[in-house]
Structure 1
């Protein structure tokens, strides 16, 4: 997946680093080891934050600042990593879905970065990373219509399909997904932070999801 970043984003004063990992995958119910890994990740995050809200995590706080700078209220439109961490901290649980989704949740929970897992067969042409216009929407996974205005989005020839808030149903991972494009959104954090997160992501995805590794960008 070839991604270009809108040059106008640099004028906003927010560093942006995207890591894009591509794989050939098999999507299946998560094995016990992966479920246990999620449980351990939840416990670790609870211990790290010691009763403080998810928004105090430095990476999440930096992402929230980026949302606000772009024009989106992060208390109404929370970064996906914050929403996930809030569930972990409040004991609501993060139920298993499948190997790809659950692995992505662990990566986001442990790094604090929003991530996107996309079925590459539904991505049409080159991808542009930009700020969505006021009237742009898509059907979010489990959310219905999402107001994208002011959000950072990934957009192809058919329009936006992903964001660090909520991804679209159009490119959602399903049991028939074979080609995965996995994106880590590094908003207002260092390149080193994203590189370390990408290494962690690669190790976990390769362990639990990959049939034959594709290209890493």
Structure 2
């Protein structure tokens, strides 16, 4: 499975980049106490930070709002997923444990201030592309709605759009039955390549420590 960044996205967002990780033979289950503890403690610390700061004082949220604007998405109506997480924490509506893959995904999204998607690779077909969506691109999302992804950044396979730094699809969600997965880190465009690779590898290593299996990663730039 290969992934590419489309020209229509690269032309609108200079230096757009992602971290791309593939996992094989993983075991997803209830999060170990270490993961649940880290997620809870980080949210509690972030809550006090958010009492003194605006959301746009966080570089990742500020940059992802700008990226949405550059691609034609109103970030006040369709918020980057990381901003949605931060808004929950600001209201003390803390994220509850779901399972190890989602909990770790949310932890790193909060930590790195970027949207991160994790997807069941067995639900995907063919090679992948990240592009600006058109009118046919829509899907039932994890937010419980059918989401039109027109003029929004989307990840797509041969069967259509399945993910986005806004909201991901039901079709490719990871469950405790998932054995093979991919993870897309929608990086800050300003992140230097060397730092982007270190960040992506760090995430992969912790994921493998929790879930077993094998992994490989790459960083792509538009």
Structure 2-normalised TM-score? Answer: 0.90
Could you tell me which runs of 5 or more consecutive residues in structure 1 were left unpaired when the two chains were aligned: none
Could you tell me which runs of 5 or more consecutive residues in structure 2 were left unpaired when the two chains were aligned: none
Q: How many residues align?
A: 216
Structure 1-normalised TM-score? Answer: 0.92
| 2:208 alignment counterpart | 206
Instruction: State the secondary structure of the residue aligned to 1:38.
Output: helix
Structure 1 segment 56-67 matched on structure 2, within 5 A:
56-67=57-68
Instruction: State the secondary structure of the residue aligned to 2:150.
Output: coil
List structure 1 segments (4+ residues) > 6 angstroms apart after TM superposition. none
Q: 1:172 & 1:189 partners in 2: Cα distance?
A: 29
Contact 1:70 1:131 in 2 (8 A): yes
| 1:167 alignment counterpart | 168
Contact 1:45 1:110 in 2 (8 A): no
Structure 1 segment 1-217 matched on structure 2, within 5 A:
1-24=1-24, 25-192=26-193, 193-209=195-211, 211-217=212-218
Q: 2:111 & 2:32 partners in 1: Cα distance?
A: 19
RMSD: 1.7
Instruction: State the secondary structure of the residue aligned to 2:64.
Output: helix
Please identify, of 6-15 and 84-93, the stretch whose mean Cα deviation from structure 2 is larger: 6-15
